[in-house]
Structure 1
């Protein structure tokens, strides 16, 4: 199992990085990226601390540990610049908090994130055909999420990804220990979204490609 979307006490998560990573390790995860919510006011502080943890503590765990960020409720016009700044600041994985149906994310966020070439567009809600086509061109992975609420449109995301050949990844969007769900439940949620068993397996390969890119 690989999770590219998790949160610590540096945003709205319940756990410090060490406990989050240890719990993921015990639960059987092979790679985990901490991607706390951030905007201009918090991104540099959060990344500095998570990167310090990854560099000094990461190799003590039997799991690949990465530092990332989830740009959240950032005005669409500012997303491209913030994605570039996040990478310069050391973010190994950059997510954007997509247009989920359960939060008032600004219209145009999905498109701006894809145009900016983020690694993963998180819970993109009712993403359009045109946006998915662009995600294919840009190599942006779309998220199937196990998190309640955000998961309401998983079936829509899965169907358009299949239609246009977009890459999918499955993430927990973990905020608490109970969010680090089992491999069986992850698979059930993915299949419930309409993925075939082979498509579900491919989500793991897609996530591993991102991990390998980070580890270089």
Structure 2
């Protein structure tokens, strides 16, 4: 089973259209995929509207749980809460915030602003996560992301360690921008084991935690 809650299409910086990305994922054995293109207040309405239509078509005909979402990217921290609420109003089933990856100039304070926002589901690639942030994620039920994305993945080990100690929930996502970057079960499991977590931890992340998020998502349609 493959669940992937962070991917990109040609509506932002990915190479495939929304419907083709879903089709490729379905052919690769995905059970669920969220389309979470980079966005901010100026582009959210258009992106959410377009992916929502293709996701509905895929769910109807292919049986894959295709989820319209958004990744709020380089939104100023004081605006994250309001932008997240607006994304929900526009129809996003999943709200991801682009965290403080060490390879991008994400504004400091983004992680904490996201973790204080009840509308946020996932803090993506949070970079040099702090103990305070991990505790906040655990307390507020916001998932922290481990990723296979080059560069962003460099801090997976730290994120895994702090999540394990704090009780924060982890997900493993591809952050794919190209079909070659979609997940396989083998890649996902090996990447989690590479952080020092166990086989049991990998199953918790890849199956139980993913299904936990799906239950939350299903209240939105």
TM class by shorter chain equals over 0.9
Q: In 2, Cα distance between the equivalents of 1:55 and 1:202?
A: 28
Q: In 1, Cα distance between the equivalents of 2:187 and 2:52?
A: 30
2:115 counterpart residue number: 114
User: What TM-score, normalized to structure 2?
Assistant: 0.95
Q: In 1, Cα distance between the equivalents of 2:138 and 2:33?
A: 24
3-state DSSP of counterpart to 1:52: helix
User: Deviation string for 1:42-100 (max 9, x for gaps)?
Assistant: 11110011112222343111311100000000000100100111111111000000000
1:205 counterpart residue number: 208
Contact 2:144 2:171 in 1 (8 A): yes
Q: In 2, Cα distance between the equivalents of 1:89 and 1:27?
A: 30
1:65 counterpart residue number: 66
1:187 counterpart residue number: 189
3-state DSSP of counterpart to 2:213: helix
Q: In 1, Cα distance between the equivalents of 2:109 and 2:211?
A: 29
Q: In 2, Cα distance between the equivalents of 1:72 and 1:136?
A: 22
> Is there any run of 5+ residues in structure 1 with no aligned partner, and where?
none
Q: In 2, Cα distance between the equivalents of 1:83 and 1:14?
A: 25
> Is there any run of 5+ residues in structure 2 with no aligned partner, and where?
none
Contact 2:58 2:64 in 1 (8 A): no
Contact 2:3 2:210 in 1 (8 A): yes
User: Deviation string for 1:121-140 (max 9, x for gaps)?
Assistant: 00000111001101111100
3-state DSSP of counterpart to 1:125: coil
1:53 counterpart residue number: 54
Between 1:11-20 and 1:53-62, the stretch displaced more is: 53-62
Give the alignment's Cα RMSD to 1 decimal: 0.9
3-state DSSP of counterpart to 2:15: coil
Q: In 2, Cα distance between the equivalents of 1:13 and 1:194?
A: 30
User: What TM-score, normalized to structure 1?
Assistant: 0.97
Within 5 Å, give how 1:1-216 maps onto structure 2: 1-117=2-118, 118-203=120-205, 204-216=207-219
